[in-house]
């Protein structure tokens, strides 16, 4: 049950286990318990709402690379009427696109999206320490001592943080480009680290998430689908098997086995 609901993006496996303990999940009119299995035809309710869980068991995993421009927000609906990234994506017959991490409205570049909620949760989870690389343009002088401080760690309002790597990447005049790497997804972390040292970030662009690099020829507003090889690399990175479908009729009793994609 946790595996299928997490795959559908309803929550992480830990969240779903907590919902089971709290009595929020019901199967065929009975409160679900940890260890319960789903089988084809079961009626599942979450907080009283019927969940069509079987569709999540049948969808192949897809991952998109989207080149987010400045001015777009990573949300499904924006009360202020700003453009949202999800309106630019291809429609899914089953499930929905889930953003793997976020980019704020003033940050552009690589945004990964998937229809596999479990994969999304693992790629974002701090325990996997997945690299995020950014190209950042800084206004002002940056010396070796400042870079040393940023890589060793500085105190922010939500705890200590640091860059795993900082490399000079060129520039003219007062503006200089650097490539920085972080392994956590705290809100506005790259900007806040530079601003803690009184440096102004005049441009920020994510260029890599884990092994996935933003293609040079991918224009803003456009997307590209990760191929089979890329999917396998992502699954291997977070210790998952790449599944074509989960067979609901074989899940009861824990005997279900993943079917792998065929070429």
Q: Using an 8 Å Cβ cutoff, are 95 and 118 in contact?
A: no
Compute the distance between CA of residue 46 and CA of residue 63 in angstroms, rounded to an integer. 27
Q: Using an 8 Å Cβ cutoff, are 34 and 19 in contact?
A: no
Compute the distance between CA of residue 9 and CA of residue 51 in angstroms, rounded to an integer. 12
Query: Residues 104, 165, 227, 236: which is the catalytic one?
Result: 104
13 C-beta neighbours (distance < 10 Å), count: 17
263, two tokens: 């070429």
Compute the distance between CA of residue 66 and CA of residue 63 in angstroms, rounded to an integer. 10
Residue written as tokens 């790449």? 242
Establish whether 131 is a catalytic residue.
Answer: no
DSSP per residue over 210-257, as a string? TTEE--TT--TT-EEE--HHHHHHHHHHTT----S---GGGTGGG---
140 C-beta neighbours (distance < 10 Å), count: 14
Decide the pairing of beta strands 200-209 and 108-114. Answer: parallel
Active site residue ranges: 104
């Amino acid at each position: 049950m946790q595996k299928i609901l997490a795959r559908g993006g309803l929550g992480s496996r830990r969240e779903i286990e907590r919902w089971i303990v709290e009595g929020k999940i019901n199967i065929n009119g009975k409160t679900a318990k940890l260890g319960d299995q789903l089988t084809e035809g079961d009626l599942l309710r979450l907080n009283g709402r019927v969940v069509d869980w079987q569709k999540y068991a049948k969808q192949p995993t897809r991952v998109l690379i989207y080149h987010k421009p400045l001015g777009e927000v990573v949300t499904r609906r924006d009360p202020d009427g700003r453009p949202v990234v999800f309106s630019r994506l291809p429609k899914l017959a089953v499930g929905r696109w889930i953003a793997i991490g976020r980019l704020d409205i003033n940050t552009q570049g690589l945004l990964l999206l998937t229809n596999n909620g479990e994969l999304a949760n693992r790629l974002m989870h701090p325990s996997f320490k997945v690299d995020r690389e950014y190209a950042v343009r800084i206004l002002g002088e940056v010396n070796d001592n400042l870079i040393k401080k940023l890589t060793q760690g500085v105190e922010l309002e939500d705890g200590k943080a640091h860059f795993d790597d900082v490399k000079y990447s060129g520039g003219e005049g007062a503006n200089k480009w650097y490539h920085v790497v972080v392994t956590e997804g705290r809100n506005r972390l790259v900007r806040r680290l530079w601003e803690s040292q009184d440096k102004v970030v005049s441009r920020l662009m994510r260029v890599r998430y884990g092994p996935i690099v933003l293609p040079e020829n991918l224009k803003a507003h456009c997307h590209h689908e990760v191929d089979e090889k890329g999917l396998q690399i992502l699954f291997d990175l977070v210790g998952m098997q790449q599944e074509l479908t989960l067979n609901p009729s074989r899940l009861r009793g824990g005997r279900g086995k993943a079917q792998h994609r065929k070429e």
